[in-house]
Amino acid sequence: MDHRTRLLDWIEQDKDHLVRFLQAFTRIDTVNPPGDTRAGAALIAKTLTDAGLAFRVVGPREDMPNIIASSVAPTQRGHLVLNGHIDVFPIGDRSLWTRDPLSGDHADGRIWGRGTVDMKCGTTASLFAFIYVSRLIHDLSGRLTLTVVSDAETGARFGSEWITEKLGDEVLGDCMLNNSEPSSIHTLRFGEKALFRLNLRVRTAGAHGAYLHLSRSAIRIAADLIIALAEVEQVRARVPAHVEELLARPDVRAAMDRGLGVGASDYVHRCTLNVGKISGGIAVSIIPSDCLLELDIRLPLGLTAKEMRGIVEKIAARFPEVTIEDPPRTPVDPMFSDPDRPMVGILQDTVQSLMGFRPHPIVSLGSTDCRSWRKRKVPTYVYGCSPIGMGRPNESVLVEEFLHVVRTHTLAAHSYLANA
């Protein structure tokens, strides 16, 4: 029996087991913040142990463990890294959920719960792709490494940033396949917009609410500031020509809109501004003397964090009451990997053989752990389930889509090492 048939047979035989694992994984609370992922990591560790595969737990924080495992072929010619994360977004208002957000219910062809889309379905795919391909590693070339990390939702400094900085070649490889971040099965991602965050604070003297002649309101100034900040969305980026040509193709734009929601293709080259939090005031009868705006700006390819900082500073300078406060996370520039590298073709060929269509290479609207590898010059690609529902109440993933991602990454990982 050839390897491809054997791998697909194993996945078919394990379908119920894979679904049960994803349900169990979903039921474990790994919400970040606070970010305690020990129980989730323990489930992954047990699964690797049951498969007879060695691993180690690393990281600077006990409550945010990272798991590293490798399978090594007799011939050392290629090194593919599979990556996924354990932590998930906060649940938010539970009253908006029709099912318990940690239920892991299997109903209507879906697994329901927080993190099913981002990214427990994909991390499960990474884990089992590693297990299946490891069974055949002695017939392949090179090394297959699994990295399952924590802290993806709050900056990655204890997760992917820590392991790529501290462990170097052990986890970098010559290609990284992020099986896990949702991309939609109709697209694969070779690049991503960068996350740029700043806090703007407005301070005034404040006064009793009836004494408007004594002080301006920090909140009203903040409202004017928000309107002015919308100017950042008009900034145009300088995109590399071959990337711009690819993303402008009608079939690629249609694939983005199909997978990411209608209108997504219009935002790939644009900055976006989200005023995520506003905090200010102490009582309704007091003119607020302090207001904090927390900004989330997504930078398209071709626009640096330094350039955006300068743009925001010029806008803020119109308001003498405003100061800029840097959050602890160091900003990074948008990054992309060459869309013509072998892994892109491998993924497209694999999906074509499984589903009858070829996923289009695109740029992600959101940021991922991929940046930790790309900043270290490792070609990095993403293929996962649909992102629709990610981070929302009633988050869920289609079971058939989840199983498709398992098949795709198992076959793609095997193909990469078979041809290394």
The two three-digit tokens of residue 309, written as one number: 């900082």
CATH topology of domain 3-192+334-418: Aminopeptidase (3.40.630)
Residue 109's identity, in one-letter code, is G
pLDDT band at 180 (very low <50, low <70, confident <90, very high): low
Mean pLDDT in residue range 202-215: 96
Q: Does the pLDDT value for residue 39 go beyond 70?
A: yes
User: What is the residue whose two structure tokens read 């806090």?
Assistant: 199
Distance in angstroms (rounded) separating the CA atoms of residues 187 and 177: 14
Q: How sure is the predictor about 51, in pLDDT bands with cuts at 50, 70 and 90?
A: very high
Q: What is the pLDDT of residues 87-122, one digit of tens each?
A: 999 999 999 999 999 999 999 999 999 999 999 999
C-alpha to C-alpha distances, 362 to 161, 264, 278, 404, 406, nearest whole angstrom: 24, 11, 33, 20, 21
How far is CA 326 from its chain centroid? 22
> DSSP code of 118?
I
At residue 262, φ and ψ (nearest 5 deg) are -60, 130
d(CA 189, CA 194): 14
Domain assignments of the chain as residue spans, ordered by start: 3-192+334-418, 194-242+268-325
- The mean predicted confidence, pLDDT, of the chain is 95
What are the angstrom distances between the C-alpha of 208 and each of 67, 90, 204, 279? 55, 37, 13, 19
- pLDDT band with cut points at 50, 70 and 90 for residue 236: confident
Please tell me the distance from the alpha carbon of residue 147 to that of residue 57, in angstroms, as a whole number. Answer: 10
In the three-class reduction of DSSP (H, G, I as helix; E, B as strand; rest coil), residue 359 is classed as coil
3-192+334-418 and 194-242+268-325 share one fold: no
Q: DSSP state, 48?
A: H
Query: What's this model's pTM, rounded to 2 decimal places?
Result: 0.90
Number of Cβ atoms within 10 Å of the Cβ of 73: 19
Contact (CB, 8 A) for 255 and 187: yes
Over residues 381-385, the mean pLDDT reads 95
Selected from 3.90.1200.10, 3.30.70.360, 3.40.640.10, 3.30.565.10, the CATH number assigned to the domain covering 194-242+268-325 reads 3.30.70.360
Determine the pLDDT at residue 179: 64
Q: What is the mean pLDDT of residues 84-89?
A: 96
| 24 and 103 Cβ atoms separated by less than 8 Å | no
pLDDT tens digits, 256-283: 998 888 999 998 888 999 999 999 999 9
Span 299-328, average pLDDT: 94
Task: Examine the pLDDT at 155 and tell me if it is beyond 90.
Answer: no
Specify the amino acid at residue 121: C
Tokens of 22: 């994803």
